[in-house]
Chain A
Amino acid sequence: MNASSFVLAVCMLAASSTVQGAPRVPASDDVVVGTLPSGGTARSPALRALRGAASQQPEDLHAALALARHHVALGRATGDPRHAGHAQAALARWWRLPDPPEDVRLVRAILAQREHRFDAALADLDAILARRPSHAQARLTRATLLQVRGQWPEAAQECDRLPSQVPRAYVAACVLSVAALAGDPWNAYTQLAVVRDDVPPDDADALAWLDGLLAEMAERAGRDRDAETRYRAALAAAPGDPYLVGAYADFLLDRRRDREAFELTRAGRAADPLLLRHAIAAKRLGDGFAGEAAAQLRDRFAASRRRGDSAHQREEARAALELHGNAAEALRLARENWRVQKEPADAVVLLAAAVAANDAGSVGTVRDFMTVSGLRDVRLDRLLRAAAHPTRASLRNRE
């Protein structure tokens, strides 16, 4: 045992006793016993005003919807799942009606989709569209959902049915993001890039969305430089966006730019998906935080299992594979996840776990999916090459 690993062991032992700390009475009134999410989000004046309006007029659907939508947006921006519960509570009066107002259905569908309850989300979207086929947001949400589930022909149909009042950039993004999955990603990239240039520079949300899509297309096409430029542009438009930070961190980790990935995910590591990337980078760098981060993640996954959540299986599979070196468990989780969602990232996790666990059946699952769907992704190509050369794969696995 050398000096640094000895120090590390001592630290981990000392830290482990504090993690499972027992209930206690603090020594003085000045001891800080808890911190709240910064005032900028959870307790902003805007939120306070919306909450006040909703509680003064508990039967006013508009006030309740305004509050719920604000929480939905905050949940997206911060990655904090408590906002979903607040949004639902704001609409409690209407939430369980057999036939709730259209706007309530839409919020319900969006939250169900985020929690990976896709059937419930589809039921609500179908109900909205049955009555109003021209409902643009329901149509767009349905297209995204089908895309996540790997039902790409159906998703493409949804995009074609978008009503005419939807801005051109949104229609193009819908059509081309499906086209990029089921066909040549670079072809879709060049078309979407033209559309993106027509977006007014002050529309940060649209720019972040489109640049993010472009970045992922370029990454799958193996155009690293374009991907990087687009990731940076998207993050400039939406700094700290948890989804974009996670995707860019994966891009960096794939290229062994671990230090950059570590710094990128530092600020957002309160959210599980970013803590995962942070922990992977820390582990590769031999950073002292790695052990604690892995332990924290384990705690958090255990906590969400206790409450019956399984929306994080993709992340759990990666943690098993890349942090705990447990290929069999990673494969089990990745297969479970694959039954629910089939985005390229899900295929990458499944294939990586399959290669590590030397499971020809799961390698075949991904290969067949690629053949049938037309998915092209240089990350999957790399892994398939590794699967074809098991010795090299097992070497890489040991790194």
Chain B
Amino acid sequence: MQVLLGILLWCVASYAAAHKPSDSYLTLQVGGERVAVQWDIALRDLDLALGLDADGDDRITWGELRARHEAIETYALARLRVEADGAVCPAGAVTHLVDQHSDGGYAVLRFDARCPAAPARLALRYVLLFDLDAQHKGLVQVNSEGRTLSRVFSEDSRTVEIALGDGASGTASAFLSYVREGIVHIAIGFDHVLFLVSLLLPAVLVRRDGRWHPADGARAAAIDVGKVVTAFTAAHSLTLTAATLGAVSLPSRWVESAIAASVVIVALDNLRPMLPLARWHAAFLFGLVHGLGFASVLGDLGLPPGALALSLLGFNLGVELGQLAIVATFLPLAWTMRAGRVYRQGVFAAGSVGVAAVATTWFVERAFDVKVFG
């Protein structure tokens, strides 16, 4: 544990908010009549427009921001209009979040714009902040049926029109785009990758007399891996489906923290076995939690109501493909290396320490919402 603590302390770094021209980031996900909007606006800009820093200490706390949520909502929504084929799509209830971009903290507004009918042409009018910062830009990304279009709003370009097509040709490409999203989520979702790798690390070893030895039979190792991967897949597919259909709903902070915790536990279990379960049981148990994490990603992508099953299937397929790719890369390597000291000490032991360290950081950050880095 001392090693872990040392690594964590060594990593702590501070960094000042960067200088950057003013941009807001607008993402629209078109799914039928519903347009899911996410709008990231720099806290610095909102402070200039509305005054957020109540106590004048140059630091904006969540409390100060929360006190101004209503004002921010009114201010922002009055400066963006979404129209579908000439009819306004009014904004629904706004969820307020925060995020970091390369130049500091941003307020994140999420809401649905409800159009009278699925739009063939989407028209956007954007007038945020131009009166205060004439070089402000609104960077908008519109996702629809697997296509992504990017546009830039500026002081002299305040409206954007986008032709979305009739939607009939889009089914196959939409399905493929969800497959792609699933693969991408595995590829960039370090927590899932590390979880899987930590589970697989001991698969090419056997434990005898309190020590790890290289496994002799490829068949036994393969069955072991098969059981772990199948259990993980079955479990996360189950919760992914349940959560997407609305049958289960847990706060995302709880889910994200639990995912980080699962990585820590599995990695530590490699170093000193302590779980009173077979590994494939652990894979199933924790897989349930990871599925809930996948579901929140899928939710953020916005689901077209008519194609719920299709997108769910596509996304899940993508996740499995990504996962298979990891297993296919990792396993042959581990199998050839298993007899050497490099594997048992360098990869297996040190790797598990490293994974536990990283995941502990994530857990602390997610559970207590502090930034260990930056």
Which chain B residues border A78 with CB–CB below 8 Å?
A: 19
- Chain B residue nearest in CB terms to A274: B19
- Chain B residue nearest in CB terms to A266: B16
B147: CB under 8 A from chain A? no
Which chain B residues border A270 with CB–CB below 8 Å?
A: 16-19
Which chain A residues border B136 with CB–CB below 8 Å?
A: 85
B30: CB under 8 A from chain A? no
B108: CB under 8 A from chain A? yes
Q: How far is the CA of A1 from the CA of B373 in the complex (A)?
A: 24
Q: Find out whether the CB atom of B66 lies under 8 angstroms from the CB atom of A300.
A: no
A5-39 Cβ-contact flags toward B at 8 Å (1 or 0): 01101110111111111111111111111111111
Which chain B residues border A36 with CB–CB below 8 Å?
A: 17, 43-44, 47, 53, 58-60
Q: Find out whether the CB atom of A15 lies under 8 angstroms from the CB atom of B139.
A: no
Which chain B residues border A13 with CB–CB below 8 Å?
A: 190, 354, 358
B73: CB under 8 A from chain A? no
A27-65 Cβ-contact flags toward B at 8 Å (1 or 0): 111111111111100000000000000000000000000
- Nearest Cβ distance between residue B132 and chain A, in whole angstroms? 5
* A304-B20 contact given A10-B354, A86-B133, A296-B102, CB 8 Å threshold: yes
Q: How far is the CA of A29 from the CA of B68 in the complex (A)?
A: 13
Which chain A residues border B130 with CB–CB below 8 Å?
A: 89
Question: Within A265-281, which residues are at the interface with B (CB < 8 Å)?
Answer: 269-272, 275
Out of A6, A10, A85, A299, name the residue touching B133 (CB < 8 Å).
A85
Q: Find out whether the CB atom of A31 lies under 8 angstroms from the CB atom of B369.
A: yes
A228: CB under 8 A from chain B? no
Q: Find out whether the CB atom of A18 lies under 8 angstroms from the CB atom of B19.
A: no
B114: CB under 8 A from chain A? no
Which chain A residues border B269 with CB–CB below 8 Å?
A: none
Q: Find out whether the CB atom of B369 lies under 8 angstroms from the CB atom of A272.
A: no
Inter-chain CB contacts under 8 Å: number:
209
- Chain B residue nearest in CB terms to A18: B373
A369: CB under 8 A from chain B? no
Question: Within B104-161, which residues are at the interface with A (CB < 8 Å)?
Answer: 104-106, 108, 110, 130-137, 139, 150, 152
Q: How far is the CA of A82 from the CA of B60 in the complex (A)?
A: 19
* A35-B102 contact given A23-B108, A270-B19, A292-B13, CB 8 Å threshold: no
Q: How large is the interface on A (under 10, 10 to 19, 20 to 34, 35 or more residues)?
A: 35 or more
Q: Find out whether the CB atom of B98 lies under 8 angstroms from the CB atom of A23.
A: yes
A183: CB under 8 A from chain B? no
Total interface residues in chain B, CB < 8 Å:
73
* A23-B99 contact given A89-B130, A272-B18, CB 8 Å threshold: yes
Q: Find out whether the CB atom of B131 lies under 8 angstroms from the CB atom of A92.
A: yes
A163: CB under 8 A from chain B? no
- Chain A residue nearest in CB terms to B135: A85
* A35-B11 contact given A6-B354, A307-B139, CB 8 Å threshold: no
Which chain B residues border A16 with CB–CB below 8 Å?
A: 190
* A14-B134 contact given A7-B10, A25-B253, A34-B104, CB 8 Å threshold: no
Out of B22, B43, B97, B191, name the residue touching A17 (CB < 8 Å).
B191
A75-104 Cβ-contact flags toward B at 8 Å (1 or 0): 000111110111011001001000000000
Out of B13, B150, B252, B365, name the residue touching A289 (CB < 8 Å).
B13
B359-373 Cβ-contact flags toward A at 8 Å (1 or 0): 001100101111111
B62: CB under 8 A from chain A? yes
- Chain A residue nearest in CB terms to B11: A11
Q: Find out whether the CB atom of A25 lies under 8 angstroms from the CB atom of B13.
A: no
* A35-B59 contact given A275-B18, A288-B10, A307-B137, CB 8 Å threshold: yes
* A11-B7 contact given A17-B362, A23-B38, A26-B369, CB 8 Å threshold: yes
B101: CB under 8 A from chain A? yes
- Chain B residue nearest in CB terms to A81: B21
Q: Find out whether the CB atom of A24 lies under 8 angstroms from the CB atom of B53.
A: no
- Nearest Cβ distance between residue B366 and chain A, in whole angstroms? 8
Q: How far is the CA of A338 from the CA of B71 in the complex (A)?
A: 47
Q: How far is the CA of A39 from the CA of B53 in the complex (A)?
A: 11
- Chain A residue nearest in CB terms to B134: A88
B8-33 Cβ-contact flags toward A at 8 Å (1 or 0): 00110101111111110000000000
Q: How far is the CA of A22 from the CA of B132 in the complex (A)?
A: 28
Q: How far is the CA of A28 from the CA of B350 in the complex (A)?
A: 35
* Nearest 10 CB-CB pairings of A with B: A34-B105, A29-B63, A85-B135, A27-B369, A85-B133, A88-B134, A34-B43, A23-B97, A299-B102, A26-B62
Q: List 26 A-B contacts (CB under 8 A).
A: A13-B354, A13-B358, A14-B357, A14-B362, A15-B13, A15-B374, A17-B190, A17-B358, A18-B371, A22-B99, A24-B252, A29-B61, A32-B62, A34-B105, A38-B58, A39-B58, A85-B132, A88-B133, A272-B19, A292-B15, A296-B15, A300-B102, A303-B20, A306-B150, A307-B137, A307-B139
